[in-house]
């Protein structure tokens, strides 16, 4: 049975997260992994003229791309976060939109050179619904790339996830975890010409790695 997302509750969750995650002194930065300076950079996106980040969070990656001359737009569920990022990165040219990602992709008519997610909406959205919509927003040869923690062995599919600790108000969402080969199959079934998923090892032995996935539209 598919996970039943309560969008209103998840909005409250991500608004709460925004209050703690956003740093006023942050600088533009693009990193796929949870380790500063580790792993590849925006070259995984190719050389797009326009990008859409789904679940754009603090906006640092979009600001980095916008400063390079890329038309950069991000969508995020949290109105609190979008207000903060719009103010913080106003001088970069990056654009931020508050919306639920599936709703936005269904209504958006823009075609992008790349769509990406860094520990963002690709982690928290049912791929059977998300991937076909992303495919529709990409031009020929467009890139869809995302990163997130790899699946815990034996724990696959939608996983319940509490946020903000285990005491007090129950705030939770669902994340989606699969083996790399399954991610590849999900993407090709959604109409992508090719897909590659791999786990990048952490910079320190025994630490959590990063799932990196890249797909190309026909």
Residue 26 in any domain: the answer is: no
Helices (H) and strands (E) in the chain, counts: 7, 9
Is pLDDT of 100 > 90?
yes
Instruction: Tell me the per-residue pLDDT of 178-203, one tens digit each, with 9 for 90 and over.
Output: 999 999 999 999 999 999 999 999 99
Residue 203 in any domain: the answer is: yes
* pLDDT for residue 198: 98
Region 137-151 average pLDDT: 98
Residue 163 in any domain: the answer is: yes
* CA neighbor of 46 nearest in space, from 179, 140, 147: 140
CATH at 115: 3.40.50.150
Residue 30 in any domain: the answer is: no
Residue 156 in any domain: the answer is: yes
* CA neighbor of 149 nearest in space, from 95, 212, 90: 212
Residue 200 in any domain: the answer is: yes
* pLDDT for residue 56: 97
Whether this prediction's pTM lies above 0.75 is answered by: yes
DSSP code, position 152 = P
Instruction: Tell me the per-residue pLDDT of 42-92, one tens digit each, with 9 for 90 and over.
Output: 999 999 999 999 999 999 999 999 999 999 999 999 999 999 999 999 999
Residue 38 in any domain: the answer is: no
Number of structural domains, the chain?
Answer: 1
In whole angstroms, give the CA distance from residue 199 to residue 182. Answer: 13
The structure tokens 């269904």 sit at 106
Domain carrying residue 177 = 7-19+45-216
* pLDDT for residue 69: 98
Residue 188 in any domain: the answer is: yes
> How many degrees, rounded to 5, is the angle at CA 131 between CA 10 and CA 192?
165
């Amino acid at each position: 049975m598919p996970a039943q997302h309560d969008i209103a509750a998840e909005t409250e969750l991500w608004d709460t997260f925004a209050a703690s995650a956003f740093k006023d002194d942050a600088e533009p930065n693009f990193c796929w992994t949870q380790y500063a300076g580790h792993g590849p950079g925006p070259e995984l996106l190719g050389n797009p003229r326009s990008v859409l980040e789904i679940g754009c969070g603090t906006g640092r990656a979009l600001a980095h791309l916008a400063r390079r001359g890329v038309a950069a737009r991000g969508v995020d569920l949290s109105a609190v976060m979008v207000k903060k990022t719009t103010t913080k990165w106003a001088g970069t040219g990056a654009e931020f939109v508050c919306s639920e990602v599936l709703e936005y992709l269904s209504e958006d008519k823009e075609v992008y050179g790349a769509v990406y997610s860094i520990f963002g909406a690709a982690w928290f959205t049912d791929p059977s619904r998300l991937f076909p919509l992303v495919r529709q927003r990409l031009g020929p040869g467009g890139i869809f790339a995302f990163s997130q923690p790899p699946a815990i062995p034996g724990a696959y599919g939608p996983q319940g996830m509490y946020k903000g600790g285990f005491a007090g108000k129950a705030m939770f969402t669902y994340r989606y975890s699969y083996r790399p080969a399954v991610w590849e199959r999900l993407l090709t079934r959604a109409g992508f010409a090719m897909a590659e998923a791999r786990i990048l090892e952490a910079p320190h032995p025994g630490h959590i790695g990063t799932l990196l996935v890249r797909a190309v539209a026909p």
